[in-house]
Structure formats: C-alpha cells, structure tokens
Amino acid sequence: MKVEAMMKRQVQTCRADQTLNEAVQVFWDKDCGVVPVVDGEEKLVGILTDRDVAVAAYFRGENLKNICVADAMGRNVLTVRKSDDIEDALELMRTHQVRRLPVVDPDGRVEGILSLSDFFHAAVKDEHVKPKKLIRAFAAICGWREDKRTVVFDIELQPKAKLEVPTTLPTPKSKPAKAKAPKSARSKSSAR
C-alpha cells in the first residue's frame, strides 16, 4: 500500500513570518496539532506543533502575537512522497520517533500529511497494516527519548518569570458545607 492511500489531503499550512497567534487559530479552526510551514512558493520549510507553541510561549514569556512561527518551528522535517510504501513511512516514524510526516511533491510542496492515527484507522479497517509493526512503532514513538532531553531552540532558553510551586498543599480549615439541590429539583428527581 502506498502513502497516497492513507494520507490526509486537506492540510492547512502557515508561513514562517506569521505569528504563533495566527498558527494557533489554524490549530483551533482545523482541529489539528500540527501545521506545515511553507515559504512564498508553498515549499515546506518547517513544521509547527502545538507543543512547539507551548514551549516557545513558556520560554519567551510573551504574548503569542509577539512571537513569529519561525522562532518556534522545527526546521529539520522528515517527509515522504505519495508513492512511498506505507511500511517504509511507518519505519521512518518509528526510527525518528515522530507522529506525523508531511507528504511533499518532488518540488517540496505539501500535498498532504500522514499521521500515526492514519495507521491506526487503517489497522481497524484491516487495510494492509501489520499490527505488530504498528505496535512496535507506537511503542518507539511514544517512549521516553533519553537522548533527546537537550533540545536547542531558536529562542531564549531561560523563562522570563519563575513559577513558584508550593512544596505542600494548604489544608482546608473546615470542610465546606454540602450544597443542597433546590427544593424543586429534589421533588422532580424523587418523582422518577
């Protein structure tokens, strides 16, 4: 089976010069967690995940309207082509521990995206996906990456504000009174 048979074709992209606020709007509108980043010729130049946005916001300590996509996006993007075999794509995901692969044409323009969930949907439908390979890939992708703990960003690596987390939680002085349902609600429920 080829990537073309499983990939999602309707992919929203963004540009590197847009703000993270604009990119998050795409996440919200399209109910997705990743957006390929393209240049003026619609060629892939990076990828932005919702995690990238959260990390950039934390380390910058700024409003998302003040941070460019280019400052948060991943630049070393693994890709596949429509004509690639799905088993090769799954192995690429497993080896590099990525959940999604942009599908590009020979010129580097985005044609779709292939995600780990696409493999699970295909496996449920019994469409040429070997369960053992899928489970192995899932375990590798979702496992702890000891060698990846140090990540280099194009942003300042110290948070602007330090979050004070209490070491112990305060204990309540007295238990709150139990809320009672209004009399009309109690009579309706007891009548059933």
How far is residue 115's CA from residue 95's CA, in Å, rounded to a whole number?
15
Per domain, the residue ranges of the chain are 3-165
**7 touches 44 (CB < 8 A):** no
CATH number of 3-165: 3.10.580.10
How far is residue 89's CA from residue 128's CA, in Å, rounded to a whole number?
13
pLDDT digits (tens, 9 = 90+) for 3-52: 999 999 989 999 999 999 999 999 999 988 899 999 999 999 999 999 99
Question: How far, in whole angstroms, is CA 163 from its chain's centroid?
Answer: 25
pLDDT at 153: 40
Query: Which stretches of the chain score pLDDT less than 50?
Result: 149-167, 169-172, 174-177, 179, 181-192
How far is residue 182's CA from residue 188's CA, in Å, rounded to a whole number?
10
